[in-house]
Amino acid sequence: MLKSVVRSVGAAVRLSSATTSTARALPLSCPMLRSLSPAVTRPFTRSLWMLNSNSSGYRPKLFSSKVLSPSVSCGCGGLHTEGDKAFGDFLSDEIKEEKKIQKSKTLPKMSGGWELEMNGTEAKLSRSVSGEKITVTFNINNSIPPNFEEEVEQGQQKPAEEESEIVSTPNFVVEVTKQAAKHSLVFDCHFPEDEMSHGEGEEESDIFAIREVSFQPEGDTEWKETCYTLNTDSLDWALYDHMMDFLADRGVDNTFADELMELSTAIEHQEYIKFLEDLQGFVKCN
């Protein structure tokens, strides 16, 4: 069976070569070639040539990779390929390295008496101040700013000790609820990207900014689009300052924002390592 495949592939290769040669100027003394159809794109030709080649050296195989012998099967019924093995080995190393650079196995504590609840990748910090309930919610998914990833892609080669750390700067929502109130005052906050240049140039601004403010029904998890939402882009500075003071009085200030970044970074790193471990487990054996 294999021999016949090779023969037909070989023929395809020869035909392909002939076809290709007709794309260039043809000698008029070659009637046979003149009668062939014009060159067409054969994107898989290179793969066929490789399959047919007997030369030394590793060549990628067209029809997937070698499947490991069923005699070493773990009995899970899943596919185990050489690629999977290499993947699993790579993940082992990666997990070891990530654990080495992990700052701590436990999450940093927030000052100010905030209680932390986790629901997957979503974190919720809560505290009470004189009967008011304040919650701060954020999600660590997509919380690493793209600027960091762009710097890596642009191939900026820095010595290892100078490489900047990955920092998680999630958007966060502050909800302030007074006792027996139907609505909560909700602040959608973020870490402005242009202020995240740690140690570079002069940093003369708040760590975080309020983007939108709205009254939302108390207890609802979804943002209600029909409630008026104030955007702070072109807001009077005095009003903005009052809002920042309002938050600061309830423990949400630059210090809090700094600590939130550290907490989010630690959670994100934890989740990343856990994901790698789950991935390793899945690749090895489902």
Partner 1 sequence: TSFAVERTNRQHTPQDSCNYSSSSKVVPLRRARLRKDVDTLRHILGIQKFDLGVICVDNQRIQQINSIYRKKNLPTDVLSFPFYEDLRPGKLPCPLHRDELNLGDIFLGVEFVMNQCREESLDLHGALTVVTAHGICHLLGYRHETEEEWTEMLQRESYILSEYNRLTGRHLEPLMKRCSQDR
| Nearer Cβ to partner 1 (122/253) | 253
CA 197 from chain centre, in angstroms, equals 20
Q: How far is the CB of 249 from partner 1 (least distance, A)?
A: 8
Candidates 41-49, 67-75, 214-222, 251-259 — which segment interacts with partner 1 by CB under 8 A? Answer: 251-259
- Chain-centroid distance of CA 215 in Å reads 32
242 binds partner 1 per the rule CB under 8 A:
yes
Choice from 8, 64, 141, 205 touching partner 1 (CB under 8 A): 205
Q: Which lies closer to partner 1 via its Cβ, residue 88 or residue 112?
A: 112
Q: How far is the CB of 244 from partner 1 (least distance, A)?
A: 6
Residue with tokens 């919720």: 124
In this chain, which of 89, 151, 245, 278 binds partner 1, going by CB under 8 A? 245
* 65 contacts partner 1 (rule: CB under 8 A): no
Residue at token pair 């740690």: 198
- Backbone φ and ψ of 195, nearest 5°: -100, 5
Q: Quick one: which segment of 46-54, 88-96, 179-187, 205-213 binds partner 1 (CB under 8 A)?
A: 205-213
195 touches partner 1 by CB under 8 A: yes
In this structure, the dihedral spanned by the alpha carbons of residues 215, 218, 224 and 227, taken in order and rounded to 10 degrees, is -30
Taking CB under 8 A as the rule, does residue 253 contact partner 1?
yes
The answer to the question of residue 112 lying near partner 1 (CB under 8 A) is yes
Figure out which of the listed residues 255, 271, 276, 285 binds partner 1, where binding follows CB under 8 A: 255
206 binds partner 1 (CB under 8 A): yes
Backbone angles phi, psi at 138, to 5 degrees: -150, 160
Q: How many CA atoms lie within 13 A of 245 on its CB side?
A: 6
Q: What's the one-letter identity of residue 40?
A: V
- Nearest residue to 40 (alpha-carbon basis) of 57, 15, 60: 15
Q: Under the criterion CB under 8 A, does residue 241 sit at the interface with partner 1?
A: yes
Stretch that binds partner 1, among 31-39, 92-100, 234-242, 276-284 (CB under 8 A): 234-242
The span from the CA of 129 to the CA of 109, in Å, is 19
What 124-128 contacts at long range (C-beta under 8 Å, 24+ apart), as own/partner pairs, is 125/260, 127/251
Q: Verify binding: residue 103, partner 1, rule CB under 8 A.
A: no
CB of 254 to partner 1, least distance (A): 6
Residue 199 identity: G
For residue 279, the minimal CB distance to partner 1 (Å) is 31
Count of CA atoms in the C-beta half-sphere (13 A) of 145: 18
Q: How far is the CB of 167 from partner 1 (least distance, A)?
A: 13
| CA trace torsion 45, 47, 52, 54 (10° rounding) | 130
- Footprint of partner 1 on this chain (CB under 8 A)? 108-109, 111-113, 195, 203-207, 237-238, 241-242, 244-245, 248-249, 251, 253-256, 258
